[in-house]
């Protein structure tokens, strides 16, 4: 669904895992976001993101908080995790900010599905 909504397809992302580092996704148009499914890179469980936050924007400059997640036990159980926003958010830009990495300094993300 993320590929269809965002018009974007990438098989692996690497993010330097310093608190405050971000990745921004730009959709073709404003989309309603209900949550994400975060999948850490297979076989690299120590590079999972444990805590993060989601913000949305219409212009890529002014951001609105959409929610924050905390996934426990990512090191021992690196399965895909779903986070649902308390209230759906709309925006053309989606920013994901690392609040806390699991263990490693480089986070490898297999997939982030936006629904």
**Each residue's pLDDT tens digit, 36-93:** 988 877 665 556 777 889 999 999 999 999 999 988 887 777 788 899 999 999 999 9
DSSP code string of the chain? -HHHHH----S-EEEE--TT-EEEEEEEEEEEEEEEEEEEPTT-GGG-EEEEEEEEESSSSS-EEEEEEE-TTTTT----EEEEEEEEEEEEEEEEEEEEESS-SEEEEEEEEE-
Domain that holds residue 6: 2-114
Structurally, how many domains does the chain consist of? Answer: 1
Structure confidence at residue 4 (pLDDT): 44
The pLDDT confidence band at residue 115, using thresholds 50, 70 and 90, is confident
Q: Residue 60 sits in a domain of what CATH number?
A: 2.60.120.260
The pLDDT confidence band at residue 9, using thresholds 50, 70 and 90, is very low
The model's pTM: 0.76
């Amino acid at each position: 669904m993320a590929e269809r909504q965002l018009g974007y397809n990438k098989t692996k992302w690497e993010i330097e895992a310093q608190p405050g580092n971000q990745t921004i996704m730009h959709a073709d148009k404003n989309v309603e976001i209900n949550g994400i499914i975060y999948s850490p890179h297979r076989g690299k469980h120590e590079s999972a993101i444990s805590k993060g936050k989601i913000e949305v924007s219409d212009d890529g400059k002014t951001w609105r908080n959409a929610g924050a997640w905390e996934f426990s036990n990512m090191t021992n159980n690196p399965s895909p995790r779903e986070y649902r926003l308390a209230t759906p958010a709309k925006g053309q830009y989606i920013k994901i900010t690392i609040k806390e990495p699991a263990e490693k300094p480089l986070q490898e993300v297999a997939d982030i599905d936006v629904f």
